[in-house]
Structure 1
Amino acid sequence: HGEKTLANPRNGAAGSLRQLDPAITAKRKLSFFAYAVGVVEGGELPATHSQTLKKLRDWGFPVSPEVSTAKGFDGLIAYYRAIGAKRDALPYDIDGVVYKLDDYEGQRTMGFVSRAPRWAIAHKFPAQEQMTRLLDIEIQIGRTGAATPRARMEPVQVAGVTVTYATLHNADQVARLDVRVGDTVIVRRAGDVIPEVVRVVEEQRPPHTVPWHMPTRCPICNSALVREEGAAVWRCSGGLICAAQRKEALIHFASRRAMDIDGLGERYVDALVEFDMVKTPADLYALTVDDFVAMKQRADERDGTVPETVKQGKVATKWAENLVEAIDASRTTTLARFLFALGIMHIGESTAKTLAAWLGRLEFVRSMPAPVLRVLPDIGAEVAGSIAAFFAQPGNQAVVDALLEAGVHFTDEGDPSPKLRERLDLAVLLDMANVSKLGPKSTQLLAQHYPTLAALTRAGAAHWIVAGVPQAAATNLEAMLADEDQQRELLHTEQAMHQLLAALPAAASAEAAPLDGQTFVLTGTLQSLSRDEAKDRLEALGAKVSGSVSKKTSVVVAGEAAGSKLDKANELGVPVWDESQLLALLAEHGAAP
């Protein structure tokens, strides 16, 4: 039809299925190969995968004619080579073959690692390489401000995909390759997925090219690009005033494992930022159905793709209503999800859960200095510094306040963990100060004699030496405490420690979390909540949720179609619960869905 060529079949199929107008989807001539069966009701599958595919063919489903069976290593390699020889003649693109265990019982025995089956493995073909000319080196800005150079090239077909851009990773990689604008370069798709520049064809380099250097300003917001000492990555210092960071921050905020705003994907976020309708995540909660409809109309007018229904005066709004409902539903969440959604550098789901479990409330997370955060499990100096630096920014605190004012609240806030009592004392404070010659034995000694930093300072070096601290260590500590800036920082940290200790339940009434010390394993499909939701609720009650069954497992919760983990539990004699027992446990502790 003379229209723009699709980038690849996968994008074409996904784009067709996501059309808001079903009439457009109906016009797209999609086809597929059946390669597996998901659910069977009222009957049974054959014993092997190959027999299932034969039955699918008999029923009229399209199955790839290239499917075959093989025995042993030699059989697999022979198949791999045969398909490789046919690759260019196939009427569709492939990047390798997949070996699957044919026997279903064997598949169930082998099971999965996370979401990947142990009974299937991909054998990729070598990455295809092509030659093209580099037109420019541009800078992409990511969610955390990371500035990544990418090559813009004359379009070239690589492994069935038209490639115009390729990653250059970082400024150091550009220097190693000595890539220059105007160069002829070799490009490939790493794993047939991500295009990357492999090398420069130096003999074809035109005269008068110049080495490339990282720019000093962000191409999006003109803020300074800075490079942390010892780091390979340059970052934009603009934060949320940078539209590129804003887009990535919003996409992350809405993602499934963060605030889980169903339907708010990249396309809508791009439009919301482009039309300046959303500056921070808090602005999402003020959007109305009319706002989304207006956004969609502006985007369609910009792209010249106004649907026929709009031309006739009819406007579909159900999609917008669903988005507003999803945004509203996300107001109720967990502290761990909220902290992950904020997009703090170095803070993944695991660290967010640690912060929520140990500090209990958002007010403590956002006010604790780095030395206090460092006492938490698996949080080192770099991660603690990143958290403290994020909340030290007034703009970030303002966004958090705006989210709370918009009605975002947490179902799992509570007291800080009683375990903090044994981790927060003067000895910890002095250990964090890294005073030369002052070791853990001396800091423990000082903590026993002096309850506070003020009492320690009043006593002076002579008394510390009498207490048993080596003279060199006492001299260094005295010098450090004489520095007003360091003393001020220590006092601030001590105040934060006391604030946290004061919030702990009384020692006599402090109780461990109800499932503390217990390990749960989830397998199969749950009906009332997803496995991620079940994991979050169990962890909030103190349980550890593992991906594998062992003798140390307390309980295996088996949903529908439970596999090898259930077999392993029965073999080891581990208690097995159904979904109703899990729900009863959650309800008992106020964590039911």
Structure 2
Amino acid sequence: MSVMDIEKKIKDLTAELNHYNYQYYVLADSLISDYDFDLKLKELEALERQYPEFADPNSPTQRVGGDITSKFKTEKHRWPMLSLGNTYSQEELFDFDQRIRKIIGDQFEYVCELKFDGLSISLTYENGLLKKAVTRGDGTQGDVVTNNIKTIRSIPIRLKEGDYPSQFEIRGEIFMHKSAFLRLNKEREENAEQTYANPRNFASGTIKLQDSAEVAKRPLDCFLYFLYCDNRTNLFHDHWNSLEHVKSWGFHVCEHTKKCNLLADVFEFIDYWDTERHNLGYEIDGIVIKVNDYAQQEDLGFTAKNPRWAISYKFKAERVETTLNTISYQVGRTGAVTPVANLQPVLLAGTTVKRASLHNANEIARLDLHQGDTVYVEKGGEIIPKIIGVNLEKRLPDTTAFIYPNSCPECGTTLIRQEGEAVHYCPNETGCPPQIVGKMQHFIGRKMMDIEGMGDETVETFFKKGLLHNIVDIYGLKDHQEALQQLDRFGQKSIDNMLAGIEKSKEKPFEKVLFSLGIRHVGETIAKKLAQHFKNIDALAQASTEEIEGVQDIGRRIAESVKEYLDNPIHQQQIISLRNYGLKLEIEEREIILASENLSGKTFLISGVFADYSREQLAELIESNGGKMLSSISAKLNYLVAGDKMGPSKLAKAEKLGIPMINEQDLLDLIHSK
């Protein structure tokens, strides 16, 4: 293949994959299977690695994330991102309408839109390319989060052909779908991580993560709804027309909008969505009403804080009263004991509510909950029902307060509560049934060992029948086929499929195995960082708490949890057994294509956060130029590539051994010095 053919192939693949992304994430139309898409994406990645001079900086391969910045740059908005005034009643909305009519008369239209409960964002495009993404901030300036925004598939990095201005800003709202919120919150709970109260908090927290690779793993979406550019009125006379155009340019615009001539039509739109919002896949908390005509918007102008030509009608949070019957306590796989309120069933926001989360002992004490209390339950911006208070006037006489238990409701072990944490834990991880079953269910999960033919119910059944006692027993099931055949609804074909899935799981890489072990506080990202740093389970097991803490993004609590797990003799024996069964407990060295040998014979260690490169990118640069990466500081180390927030223990050891410390620019200079 000639150089011209290669360049054309890269351009064609880039355009094709961007088209598929647009069809799928904006138009919800899948033109290609996930498998075929991934094959094409891998082909493009390989070509770009081999011929970086032809790679498009806005290639779809760049959407997977990977950039880590030490902090977000702050930038002033060219057009301030003002908030809208709020109204909660038809009377207030009528007053707003009268003020409009006094200034511009009676000949105008409104555009009604859903008010998304998300994070406001401003996107700047130049010549059809996404150049910058800035959060609302304080309205006059916000954080530049461009790398993170590029991971959101419904936001185009390059626009299709169109009649758009050479430079413009478009405003929108980033949000998380309800189903994704519930799934990700469940994963955080299983990893003993703090859960988020609602999708908006989750979306906002995600956008502020420094690692865009982690942002890419959290499915965010975005609706765009307002355009700014020079001489905008020469392009469009009104807001409705601009929405139609930006949709044709490739932007994700919500279809639930309405143009209204009368205030009565606005009220009808509000009433409809006050009910129907519960059937949407995302959260809204009201309706935005805007004067349609741009010239009339300019006539109306602004107050110090809000535009006079727009207002938001906020829905009232739905609240009901019901009886608190009992509080039950659920034990998760990490031993966390979560209280759950069992309620007299009541209709709330279109669904029957029977249970509400109480989070922890502090919440029970704060609410001062008593047996048989009449409680206020609310959803509002919360997907999960929440008790927000007690109707003390209806409290029964001589009723007793709920007291958080001292012992595990499942195995009777005395609960512990670590300093600085709100959650109580059962420490009996090897003898508490829900923890044992939960760890095995976690181990076989899709993001972990992904064992086909084996589900949560299967694990629970096998545990009750005495076939499984811990994760190691999963790999010994092949020796118990006779016992498996005796089980109801478990035929030979199902047995064969399950055993094949167990065998195939042995191909999973080290970071997946590490994640699957279910170490408290160790999620998928943390497991990957530990695997990349220590290379194998033995090096990790031999590392001190301080050395583990020295790994980027690993805090003291995580380091102590990892150390405690690997120092446990029961876990040590399990790891030996898993190794004997053939599981991968070290990373496989990938083939390195050398760009030069300018770093040949030199060893490096990377620590800290860097402004322009992620640690993974720096490691690839080193290895592709002949250098070798080490996992710890020793006399064999030639250079410590030091960024911001480097661990103090590494710094002290490097200084003691007299190891040269260089920054990312020094490294680039070394690479290009010959």
Using the size of structure 2 for normalisation, the TM-score is 0.44
Task: Say which structure, 1 or 2, has more relative contact order (CA 8 Å, 6+ apart).
Answer: 2
Using the size of structure 1 for normalisation, the TM-score is 0.50
Q: Whose helix fraction is larger, Structure 1's or Structure 2's?
A: 1
